Structure 1
């Protein structure tokens, strides 16, 4: 059958138009999908999903540089629960100090808050913990007892986690050595810290345990009260002429060899003494109380004597006129059983050579 003359040209035109259409593109497919409802959402490429949820570089850097929130003790409620005498808390039945507890009249220790260290100064008590004879060690039992005891008087747990290595590295050797009995294995075990807030002071507890023993530090905040008294050059000369020595109450940072700024005027008077008598030669002798390990006290006393010598030399004194000696806690001049006696025993003596 032949097509009519009218229809044939129309078919030819339709074929030509069809040949001129461009093929569908990916964009056309997306538009079609968007316009057509679907029972399932279109899949998202993994890279695209990650990019959508991850912050941009500037935001990430800002978050990394943002300082950790400072610990705010003001958010802890004040407790007026009755307490006995310092150190206030004792170990549960079946547990005892591994050795003689160490008690310091004034010390400094970094308590972990989960975000950083809160450096606390005041009176401290610390010891290692062991099981008593015929008692089975239970880390859980000890922890449960300590938690129950502290929370019963209003103490709040502020942290119970491992201290990151980068924070532990910030601890100086004096801190680690000075609190060796109470510090515990903070390198591998979590540190649990409690705070008991009082109207006039705060009581901090640092507690660490492992599968066989434990450690704790109890510290009560208190303002520093200097005990060093200035002895002028003339008074020092009189004592040296009469007895051959004179004791100075030079202040040092807690468990440190660093001479406190408050003692610089006393060091200046020693310089004046040496300038007034150019022939005078002195031994600078360091002494400690009997708190803590004896070997540590020996090293500490030597370091303190050397620090005083360094201060004198820095002020122009000939080093040949001086020597440094340390005696640790071996030469007390007062009763180490009292705070006043321990303060007297922590001294630097000038001894005529």
Structure 2
């Protein structure tokens, strides 16, 4: 039997199936390409997308602009606090509530100092006039102490004057571990700042010429209040040139310098370097001169701490002079802590005079 017709039929069917498969594959590829193109940005495929009614077409960089406009969280911003023009009395402006008293043994009134305020996302260090006190019930009163009553009264009077609350509650544990803030706040009694884990509130009262910061806190047996008013530092000490240092040493055998250090540290601040330079010049001009560098502190903090701090500061001055080529054998460092005041520690001006370095001829 001749099988050629059957073979021809089978060959034809195979060709038809192959052609059909190729056609189907081509159609699927076109569909995939179209899908891919529709998912690409319009500017990549040469199309223009028209914005819907009431919408603006987002331009490159709009995402960043939106974030800058506040779509992402931002921290405390002093400029966002409205300026208050409410009348105020004399500093510290806000009194303790009726039936309560300030803790006179631990209250501080400083003409110029630093204090740190928690703003909800960070600490702000404020320089200026400071008032800090603990608050307790009056001793001749039958009133029961209520920390909540105290802070609610203070909150009312501060916000009535235009103050804005910027923080409320505990300061986060990690923020409380900041050693610089711990050292800075060591100047204030526990009853003014409360314990580290106690809840607190921070208020900002912004004026055209200054900013007033208020911190309240409450503990079980007392409440605390700190008020700070920003003001620029006005230097009152003068640079003593080498010739003046020489004259005072010849006349009195000693001379006091106002060398400024970082708070509770022995780091000499840059503003005091010109005075250190004059001491260096004095020693260079008289190679036979030998000096004792004596450190002194005020009575803030414990006596043992102040003794160690005064010694460290005296050594820092000696090290600064030795680093410039002065033979260390011509210098000695001593610390006297708070034991040799030259002014009343009850005032900030007196404490500033007591925080000094003296050069003594030996």
Indicate whether the TM-score tops 0.5: yes
Indicate the SS of the match to 2:128.
strand
What does the per-residue CA deviation read over 1:88-135, in whole Å, with 9 as the maximum and x for residues that have no partner? 222112322332312223222221111111221112121223222243
Q: Identify if the C-alpha distance between structure 1 residues 256 and 350 changes in structure 2 by more than 3 Å, giving closer, same or farther.
A: same
Shift of 1:87: 1.8
Select 1:320's aligned residue among 292, 304, 329.
329
* TM-score, scaled to structure 2: 0.71
Contact 1:191 1:208 in 2 (8 A): yes
Q: Say whether 1:106 aligns with 2:106.
A: no
Report the Cα distance in structure 2 between the residues aligned to 1:298 and 1:149, rounded to whole angstroms. 42
In structure 1, the residue matched to 2:249 is: 240
Cα 1:125–1:299 shift into 2, 3 Å? farther
Paired position in structure 2 for 1:156: 164
Aligned residue pair count: 287
TM-score by length of 1: 0.73
**Cα distance change on mapping 1:218 and 1:176 into 2, 3 Å:** same
- 2:194 aligned residue: 184
Mapping 1:18-167, distance limit 5 Å? 69-98=74-103, 99-133=105-139, 134-167=142-175
Q: Residues 151-300 of structure 1 correspond to what in structure 2 (within 5 A)?
A: 151-172=159-180, 173-181=182-190, 182-186=192-196, 188-289=197-298, 292-293=300-301, 295=303, 297-300=306-309
How far has the Cα of 1:332 moved from its partner? 3.6
CA distance in 2, matches of 1:222, 1:242: 38
CA contact (8 A) 1:104 1:124 kept: yes
Residue 230 of structure 1 aligns to a residue whose secondary structure is: coil
Q: Return 247-256 or 114-123, whichever deviates more.
A: 247-256
Q: Which runs of 5+ in 1 are unaligned?
A: 1-62
In structure 2, the CA distance between the partners of 1:215 and 1:318, relative to structure 1 (3 Å rule), is farther
- 2-side partners of 1:279 and 1:146: how far apart? 62
Alignment correspondent of 1:5: none
Three-state SS of the structure 1 residue aligned to 2:280 is helix
Distance of aligned partners of 1:76 and 1:94 in 2 relative to their CA distance in 1, 3 Å threshold: same
| Structure 2 residue corresponding to 1:346, chosen from 332, 340, 355 | 355
- Structure 2 residues without counterparts, runs of 5 or longer: 1-66
CA pair 89-326 structure 1, distance change in 2 beyond 3 A: farther
Q: Deviations over 1:245-295 (max 9, x none)?
A: 0111222334543211011011011112222223322222233445x3463
